[in-house]
Amino acid sequence: MTTFDQLNLVEPILKALKAEGYTTPTPIQQQAIPILLQGRDLLGCAQTGTGKTAAFAIPILQLLFQQNQKPEGGRKKIKALILTPTRELAIQIEESFAAYGKFTGIKQTVIFGGVSQHSQVERLHRGIDVLIATPGRLLDLMQQGYVHLNELQFFVLDEADRMLDMGFVNDVKKVIAKLPKKRHSLFFSATMPPVIQSLADSILFQPTKVEVTPVSSTADTIQQSLYFVSKTDKKKLLIHLLQTEKINSVLVFTRTKHGADRVVKDLDKAGIRAAAIHGNKSQNARQNALSDFKSGRIKVLLATDIASRGIDIDELSHVINYELPNIPETYVHRIGRTGRAGFNGIAFSFCEEEEFGELKDIQKLIGKKIPVTENHPFPPDARYSESAPIQAKPKKQIPPHNRPSSHKPEHKPKRFWRGRD
């Protein structure tokens, strides 16, 4: 088994890794760190939870440390830029650089929108080596003359497919147009649709490709359970599980921001402390919720897919899909948050009538049926069949001659679970 000691890392970084309790690199770290230390461009096909932040942070810190250049005029110039789609992910990457580089003297800061730029600008004025940024705020501060990238050596585009989902690709292209042509570039994406592959081709020069953990296999280490439940009973089932299962910390996924807020209110009424993170929350509210969750002050965090992408929560015990996602790969990303770096995790998924099609797509992607938990207090008035959708029992028909004259004709029995053909 490879250890960090075998990756030719400098002593200050090894010391920091040991202080963090890290001894064994994940597969992407094991593959990417030697490539990056050789100065080669990298195309990393890896999803959240594989350890990719350390895979690029550690070699960048080492290469900057080994330069040991004293800045002219006493102020550091930006040598590395990490561009990432969400504020939460940007903050966590900055925390990682601070942790791994705390004995190197390398300085870093993070900039993102949604808050006053004043403190961010002050930090830039003092001088930094590494800048972690979201696209909108970066472009804004570049246009104001506060960010200069003419001495940039390293460029990392992280979560490229999420940049596409969130409509940031044009902003990314504007940033790239301002970068020095001669640079060391790294590109990470969980998926590689054609537009993302084209973007990678425009950024990278003869890259080495590293691909880890195919999306469908991530689910193999996670204990999954499926609960068929009517839409109106979902909140009751969630409260029941939170009160009866041994859940230390749980990330609960909804499709919408409004849905996340509604579930938080339902849990509060039941005496269960919870918080939500999504784009409509202020940055302070999001950070406070995340801090309370990580510290254990609350054990339930509601999130939408975009808000949660990139959130690293060590030893997360459970994930609950309150609503199934429209995209089957998203299901794997969601549940993968509780199976970090080889740890086992538990994922519960609720499925109502309108989500049966999504369920079929998910099971096709992961290549297996999700085990059904039938013994719970809120089963729908229906039966599950492996070969057909769930159907409600037909209502007893009233013979026409026995119907009152004002009685409307009976409709055909409704199929309770409708699958997509």
Considering the four listed CATH numbers 3.40.50.300, 1.10.630.10, 3.30.70.20, 3.90.78.10, the one that applies to the domain covering 4-213 is 3.40.50.300
User: How do strand 130-133 and strand 80-83 relate by DSSP bridges?
Assistant: parallel
Angle, alpha carbons 205-206-211 (nearest 5°): 110
Residues contacting residue 183 through CB under 8 Å, at least 6 positions apart: 152, 153, 154, 155
SS3 category, 167: coil
d(CA 226, CA 373): 6
Given pLDDT bands bounded at 50, 70 and 90, which one contains residue 415?
A: very low
Q: What is the predicted pLDDT for the residue at 392?
A: 38
Q: What is the predicted pLDDT for the residue at 295?
A: 86
DSSP class of residue 403 equals: S
**CATH placement of domain 216-366:** 3.40.50.300
pLDDT digits (tens, 9 = 90+) for 229-261: 999 999 999 999 999 988 888 999 998 889 999
Q: What mean pLDDT value characterizes the chain?
A: 84
The arithmetic mean of pLDDT across residues 168-194, rounded, is 92
Query: How many residues appear in the chain?
Result: 421
Residue 72 has pLDDT above 60, yes or no: no
Domain range summary for the chain, segments of one domain joined by +: 4-213, 216-366
- Domain 4-213 and domain 216-366, same fold? Reply is yes
Q: What is the predicted pLDDT for the residue at 309?
A: 57
Per-residue burial over 38-53, b if 16 or more Cβ lie within 10 Å, else e, is eebbbbbbbbbbbbbb
Angle, alpha carbons 305-306-307 (nearest 5°): 95
- pTM of structure: 0.61
Given pLDDT bands bounded at 50, 70 and 90, which one contains residue 223?
A: very high
Given pLDDT bands bounded at 50, 70 and 90, which one contains residue 203?
A: very high
Closest CA to 175 of 195, 191, 197, 158: 158
pLDDT digits (tens, 9 = 90+) for 364-399: 888 889 999 989 999 987 555 443 344 433 434 444
